[in-house]
Amino acid sequence: MEPLNLDHNEIMRYLSMPADSETKSIQELIEECKRELFNKLRPRFVYRVFDIEKNEHGIVLLGDGFILPGKDIVNHLDGAEKTIVLALTLGIEAELVIKRYARAQLTKTLVLEAVCTEIIEKYSDQVLQEIIKKEGLTQWIPNFGYGVGYGDLPLSLQPQILSLLDAQRKIGLTCNANHIMIPRKSITSIFGLFVEKREQADSCSICSLKENCQRRKDGFPCGRFKRDEK
């Protein structure tokens, strides 16, 4: 894939390291992983754009009738003119690169995971801009990508979201019986498109992992939300 401009601080966060840590060997490892991943990955995405409507169950994707249930997704999309449902995967190559090192070079595996996560973030940003441009939606402003499994939007919806997008056929993305997407380095996200920039809700408040989350305790919650707030 074309190399992306990755945010080094974010990678350090995923590694649970302070951004200013100057451990040379880790820095070198990050660069090595970036090179290897950019060289091997074949990321792909698929999306659909919907007009939406609110009802008592949640958000209805018009034209399809699909319902995104729950209060949190209503909050996320309340007032949105349209929504983009996006699935994106770094492909089986990400899986294979990580597996290749998983037993023998664990530190490298950890760094590969972190770099993959940041690639997904940046690739997602890039893809979203592409979609907005291509679909002539530039008059609106997107909010952050809401993931299936956040808040009260159940993870069990994942297979339906993937079939809504025909993601298996179009980008080779599957989901197992426990709702884990395979290839693992993949996301599905739901963006609202708004007339004006929205105040971002505290994303942690709806997160089911909030009690456990070391990142939150440390004062820097998930990269995606954090960046949106900047």
Partner 1 sequence: MGVLNEMKNNILLFDGGLGTMLQQRGLPTGELPERYNISHPDIVRSIHEDYVKAGADVITANTFQANPLKMEESEYLSAIEAGIRLVKESGARYTAMDIGPLGQMIEPLGTFSWQEAYDIFKAQAVQAEKSGADCVIIETISDLLEAKIAILAVKENTKLPVFCTLTFQEDGRTFMGTDPLTAVVALEDLGVDALGVNCSLGPKELMPIVEEMLTYCHVPVMVQGNAGLPEICCGETVYKITPEEFRDYSKEMLQKGVRIIGGCCGTTPEFIAQLDIMRKQIKTVAVTPKNITAITSSTKTVVLDKRVSVIGERINPTGKKKLKEALLNHNLEYIIGEAINQTDAGSDILDVNVGLPDIDEPAMQVEVIREIQSVTDLPLQIDSSDIAAIEAGVRIYNGKPLINSVNGKKENLKAVLPIVKKYGAAVIGLTLDESGIPDTAEGRFAIAEKILAEALKYGIRKENVLIDCLVLTASAQQEQVMETLNAIKLVKSRLGLKTVLGVSNISFGLPSRNIVNATFLAAAFGAGLDAPILNPLSEDYRRVVDSFRVLNNQDSGARFFIEQYHQTSAQPTAQNVDKTNVSLQELILQGRKEEAAAQVRNLLSSGATALSIIDNEFVPALNIVGERFETQKMFLPQLMQSAESVKAGFKVIKNHMEKAGEKPEYKAKILLATVEGDIHDIGKNIVAMILENYGYEIFDLGKDVPAETIVQMIQKHEIKLVGLSALMTTTVQNMKKTIEMIHEKKLDCKIMVGGAVLNEEYAEFVGADFYARNAMDSVEIANRLFG
The answer to whether 197 contacts partner 1 (rule: CB under 8 A) is no
* Distance separating alpha carbons of residues 194 and 203, to the nearest angstrom: 18
Query: Residue 172's Cα: distance from chain center in Å?
Result: 17
Size of the site for partner 1 (CB under 8 A): 60
Q: Which of 48, 28, 26, 215 is nearest to 224 (CA)?
A: 215
Half-sphere exposure of 47 (CA within 13 A, CB side): 24
Among 8, 35, 71, 169, binds partner 1 (CB under 8 A): 169
Site string for partner 1, 30-59 (x = CB under 8 A): ------------x-x--xxxx---------
Answer whether 175's CB lies under 8 Å from 120's CB.
Answer: no
Phi, psi (degrees; rounded to nearest 5) at 228: -60, -30
Q: Cβ 188 to partner 1, closest distance in Å?
A: 15
Binding site for partner 1 (CB under 8 A): 15-18, 21, 23, 25-26, 29, 42, 44, 47-50, 63-66, 84, 91-93, 95-96, 99-100, 102-107, 109-111, 113, 134-135, 155-156, 163-164, 168-169, 171-172, 174, 176-180, 182-184, 208-209, 211-212
